[in-house]
Structure 1
Amino acid sequence: MQRLWIAIHLPRLPLEVFRPRWSADDCTVVLEQERVIAMSHAARAAGVQPGLRRGGAIMLAPHSQFQQRAPALEAEALQAVALALLQYTPQLAPAEQATLLLDVGASLRLFGGIRALCRKVARSVRALGFTGWLGCAPTARGA
């Protein structure tokens, strides 16, 4: 059996727990310790950048919705994504920074090869309202 891992990273998770990717692009900013850690496209277009203090973000985008980072919501969302991805393999493990690792070596033939499987995984993540970046490698660390 070929060993192959897919890593799925959710880079916009702190924002997307408040505003799923399919929702209207309102101006949303996520703060942690009074600094911007994530923002919607509308907020970025207004000049809001990661690391900016709350006051600066209010000056640039006064109509923004400001949210405090919610680690509990992020963990809940990551759990929901993990449950959805169990349809592709029972060998699933969380990794650091909103990343899940899937050992899909045994699933390749069943799902039509690596490209088809990656498309299905990406579609599943998008269906839940999250942005996902995929990587594949023979080892979990490499993925």
Structure 2
Amino acid sequence: MALLGRSPESREKSRAFVQAVYDNGGRADTKIVRQATGLTRGELKYRYEMLEDRGLIRVEYDFDIAATGESPVKVAILTELAEREIRKGLLQGGQYQPESDLSLDEVAESLQETQEFISDNMLPQIRLIGELESRISELEQSK
């Protein structure tokens, strides 16, 4: 699994996010991360969710640093996994490749589940789009 993202741009944005949290002692609120990375609000929201889903950060809401009457401040905290991966070179970029804890059987099972999901959920939609495109072409030609 690509811990930081699939594309080089995505990996760099995630790496910058994690770097900002790391540079702030392993705990940083949205304002600190935004100032350090220049990420937009949407990019920050996505990174919070993605990095939390991948186990690299834990998200907390801090009422103590929020202004009176304001919503709590979102805070990213590095997990033990993130700290281990940082020691292995996560923040160095380049050719970093996380080690996989999955067995071959687990990878095969995950692949099978993905294939089933695509077959059950995506392929019918793709077929429907094809049918609709054909119908549109027919209607355009009959004008």
Fold conserved between structures, TM > 0.5: no
Q: Which has the higher helix share?
A: 2
- Whichever of the two has the greater Rg, that structure is 2
Tell me: higher relative CO, structure 1 or 2? Use CA pairs within 8 A at least 6 residues apart.
1
TM-score under structure 2 length normalisation: 0.24
TM-score under structure 1 length normalisation: 0.24
Q: Which has the higher strand share?
A: 1
